[in-house]
Structure 1
Amino acid sequence: MAVERGRPTLIRSVQRALRLIEVVGEGEGRATAKEIARATGLPLATAYHLLRTCTYEGWLQRLDDGTYVLGHRLDTVHRRGRDAAGIAVARPALEWLRDAAGGPVYLARCVDGEIVVVEIVDSPRSPRIDLCVGVHDAAHATALGKCILGQFTTAERDDYLSRHPMHDLTRHTVVDRRRLTLPAADQVAVDEEEYALGIHCLAAPVVEPGHLAAVGVVVPPATRARSRSREALVIGARRVSRALVMR
């Protein structure tokens, strides 16, 4: 099939499948195969093939009465898109914190029961550190992880730590749960070379609808500079929270 110069190449079957999903989402949020075929102008057999594919992939769901509704994959895509948009809105506040504190900044969330880093803001003057062990496996040894663990309920914390052994990463790492010191839900968490030798970090909780979250920064070991970084972190966490709440 020839393509006109300057015009995009469009895949007709993809267009039809997307139109099916739109039709299902319209009106009462459910429709039969015949209603969908009629609304899209497709032969019933073609509509059935597309509906079967969309259902298999999770974009649609077929109910016991034969009608179709939107599937779980759309909820996942919508949530991730909304979360990504939130990070974009908060990025100026994260960049401000990087410059004010003088170190790379990390934003972490609890997602589906796991603590993960969702954004890193660094620069040539403030390069990121190498996360040789993922935060989800080192929450007990990182300021970010401890900050979020401190926001958990006791049951949630016990469940998380039961699924994530407290590995010994440096000679400073606390591996005994009875000795693990966690901040209160509104306090700053500290990592003093517990994750990696020579690395000092601070983290503060972030208010974000639908998530437990924290923002952390790598800080210099000097006491005077550390105090300035801590002040910047508290202000930066408020700015990030405001951006995420108001998005």
Structure 2
Amino acid sequence: MALKPESTAPFHSVQYALRVLEAVSKHGGGVTDAQIARETGLPTVHLSSLLLMLHREGYVEQVTGGAYIVGDSLVLLGSGATRREALQAKLQQTLDHLRDSVGAAVYISRYIDGEIRVTEVADGPLTPAVNEWVDFRSAAHASAIGKCLLTQLDQNGRRDHLSRHKTARLTSKTITNERVLFSTLDSQPATVPMLDLQEYALGTVCAAVPLTAGSTVGCLALSLPVEHAHRLRAAADALNRRAAPMVLSLAL
């Protein structure tokens, strides 16, 4: 699998969060935000938002006097034999919460051994998952998940994938021209969610954002029925904000 050079770097916010967790872990009796700021060199404003996220996700806890200690999530994710089960439970819990907060089915997908794999899904009666009428592995050019994963590959990686999975026309909106597809992928800003506006299936709109931790190529995605398309932008922005905690779980 060929990655873009820059795609192997985790989000800056995740790098900063790891520095904060390292500082907290060194102080078993608790450490203040002022001390964390001194040890990490992070600006107070940036540190405050990170601590809020880490507290919300259970990575740190706040004790009497305002000091921070290691939280249950960090203890579980670092506990060897139970790490896999704890990570799975943490990801599913976060996905379930995200599903309920944005009112959409949500997914985690990874690019593994040259194929697209949807590894986690959170859906429900009011937030049904998209009907996989064409195998996602064969629809990278049309789905938000697939296009988001392809943006994280270099040109050779993309060509290799499309040599095995042709760009079939799934709807009238599907991009089937490889040159146009690659140009679209290259022009996609890294901080903007990738959208699928009925390119994969009529009646469904989707959004996806990268989940890049080390050499892992992945994405966080959501789907909505087209009658809720007016909510897609706000839901995609919420998806983007929630990506960092998931990358953090994968990076620990």
Shorter chain as normaliser: what TM range? 0.5 to 0.7
Q: Distance in 2 between matches of 1:89 and 1:208?
A: 16
Pair 1:96–1:159, CA change in 2 (3 A)? same
1:235 is aligned to 241
Q: Which residue of 2 aligns with 1:158?
A: 159
Mapping 1:33-182, distance limit 5 Å: 86-180=87-181, 181-182=184-185
Q: SS at the partner of 2:141?
A: helix
What TM-score, normalized to structure 1?
A: 0.62
2:194 pairs with 1:193: no
The total of aligned residue pairs comes to: 166
8 Å Cα contact 2:205/2:229 also seen in 1:
no
Measure how far apart 1:234 and its partner are: 0.6
Q: Which has the higher contact order (CA 8 A, sep 6+)?
A: 2
Go from structure 1 to structure 2 and tell me whether the alpha carbon gap of 1:82 and 1:135 turns closer, same or farther (over 3 Å shift): farther
**Structure 1 residue 84: deviation in Å?**
6.8
- SS of equivalent residue, structure 1 residue 191: strand
Please say if 1:205 is aligned against 2:210: yes
| Code of the aligned partner of 1:88 | A
Larger radius of gyration: 1
| 1:217 aligns with one of 206, 211, 222 | 222
Distance 2:87 2:204 in 1: 29
Take 1:212 and 1:83, find their aligned partners in 2: how far apart are those partners? 19
RMSD (Å) for aligned C-alpha atoms = 2.1
The structure-2 alpha-carbon separation of the partners of 1:115 and 1:223, relative to structure 1 and needing over 3 Å to count, comes to: closer
Deviation digits for residues 80-122 of structure 1 (CA, Å, limit 9, x no counterpart): x977764333122212221122110111101111111111111
Aligned-residue offset at 1:186: 4.5
Letter in 2 for 1:207: T
**Deviations 1:114-161 (CA, angstroms, capped at 9, x unpaired):** 111111111122111211111110000000000010000111111111
- For the 8 Å contact 1:147–1:204, the answer to whether it is kept is yes
Structure 1 residues 112 and 120, CA gap change in structure 2 (3 angstroms):
same
What is the CA–CA distance in structure 1 between the aligned matches of 2:175 and 2:234, rounded to whole Å? 27
| Greater Cα shift, 190-199 or 124-133 | 124-133
* Runs of 4+ with >4 A deviation: 81-85, 220-224
Alignment-mate amino acid for residue 162 of structure 1: S
Asked if the contact 1:87/1:244 (under 8 Å) is kept, the reply is no
Q: Secondary structure of the residue that 1:139 maps to in structure 2? A: coil
User: TM-score, normalized by length of structure 2?
Assistant: 0.60
Instruction: Identify if the C-alpha distance between structure 1 residues 239 and 199 changes in structure 2 by more than 3 Å, giving closer, same or farther.
Output: same
- SS of the counterpart of 1:140? coil
Structure 1 counterpart of 2:32: none
List per-residue Cα deviations over 1:157-192 (Å, max 9, x = no partner).
111111110011111111111221223454411101
User: How far, CA to CA, are the matches of 1:104 and 1:217 in structure 2?
Assistant: 5
Unpaired runs of at least 5, structure 2: 1-81
The whole-number CA distance in structure 2 between the counterparts of 1:123 and 1:111 is 27
**Which amino acid counterpart does residue 137 of structure 1 have in structure 2?**
S
- Which whole-Å CA distance do the structure 2 matches of 1:139 and 1:191 have between them? 11
